[in-house]
Structure 1
């Protein structure tokens, strides 16, 4: 069997990997995509509108473009979303360059039809994603197990202003969804009367058991610490 004929990414293979292939494509098009000279493996490009990553699909030729909220790290993750995919490497690098340069979303969508810039992307651009995230989680069948906890947190006038996400079954509350280093807590429901809470991203932090009657006050205090 000729493996080259079955290679979905012969251009990537010929260049020695995705990073060098993207650099070469960007150079040919006069684009600056911000990949460091030593980048050779996974693609992670910092921009003012989040960290752009590119992942080739395994089942078909598609370059998937994702964005992770600014300031995110492996230890303190933010929110990530896929904003489109294309089989055209040249078009991809042009879109990455335009995103990195701060082209408005309407301009990006008009120029790059493969991009899927929905309500959440627009909320991120204007800095107001929280109001969209709560309804999505509260109505999600996938996160039904966290439904009671989410409803309880959302009912509080302070905590509903925090950005919620789900991490390994626990509810994460972010004080600032656009800053992955901002204060965050993880809340895991043990049963109806007991929860585990941890201050995310703090070295040495440990899970603390909190009774249901103390949960809201505990979270408020944890998120307001300087």
Structure 2
């Protein structure tokens, strides 16, 4: 069980953890947040629009709501963004339940003023997160080192339909931006240590290791890897 400052989260402490506190609040407010019974402090709820996670702030009472759309496997970072925060546990569980039930974003924003539903969240609702993500990575100076590789991958008619992200300097391509919690198949990491040389790994595949791939074979190799079940 996590340690909570009693002056910040007395309700969480009294319930025995964030998970039990959210379940009790959901019951009190008559809503279903879909929280698995075994979760206590690490809160992650599967929805049709990604995995909703909740974290508590340490500097003041604040429940931070985040949406994760890839990752969750051990050693495989995900892509996540915060969609708002509130100090009210009741409002929190009602918002999580409404997100889980598929309430349109305009309705969510009107009902829960603490939610910050930016362009990326709206792309999720419209079913167009992939093109927005490509554009975001290719316009970010922080990822300038990966621009050449990103442009090469996006130029392919198949790979441009994969969801891209960058972790530890490698480009990740994922077939499904909403994988199952325990699913790490159908994604690859591509690292470019120098020009004309690539290293590729398939996270989650038993005994997977980095494989050197010649530049001329890269696109075909990635297509084949992402097409395997």
Q: What TM-score results when the alignment is normalised by the length of structure 1? A: 0.88
Which residue of structure 1 aligns with residue 129 of structure 2? 129
Moved more, 5-14 or 171-180: 5-14
1:78 positional shift: 4.8
**C-alpha contact 1:159 1:220 (8 A) present in aligned 2:** yes
Summarize the alignment of residues 1-226 of structure 1 with structure 2, pairs less than 5 Å apart: 7-69=7-69, 72-75=71-74, 78-180=78-180, 181=183, 183-226=186-229
Deviations, residues 183-210 of structure 1 (Å, cap 9, x unaligned): 1111011111211011222112221101
Distance in 1, Cα, partners of 2:168 & 2:136:
17
Which sections of structure 2, spanning at least 5 residues, go unmatched? none
Distance in 1, Cα, partners of 2:224 & 2:40:
43
Deviations, residues 43-72 of structure 1 (Å, cap 9, x unaligned): 1222222221100012222111112237x5
Deviations, residues 124-171 of structure 1 (Å, cap 9, x unaligned): 223221110001001112222222211222222322221110122210
Moved more, 72-81 or 57-66: 72-81
Distance in 2, Cα, partners of 1:5 & 1:77:
29
SS at match of 1:186: strand
Moved more, 110-119 or 146-155: 146-155
CA change 1:198–1:87 in 2 (3 A) is same
SS at match of 2:52: strand
CA change 1:203–1:139 in 2 (3 A) is same
CA change 1:105–1:5 in 2 (3 A) is closer
Which sections of structure 1, spanning at least 5 residues, go unmatched? none
CA change 1:99–1:144 in 2 (3 A) is same
**C-alpha contact 2:6 2:13 (8 A) present in aligned 1:** no
**C-alpha contact 2:84 2:115 (8 A) present in aligned 1:** yes
Residues matched between the structures, number: 222
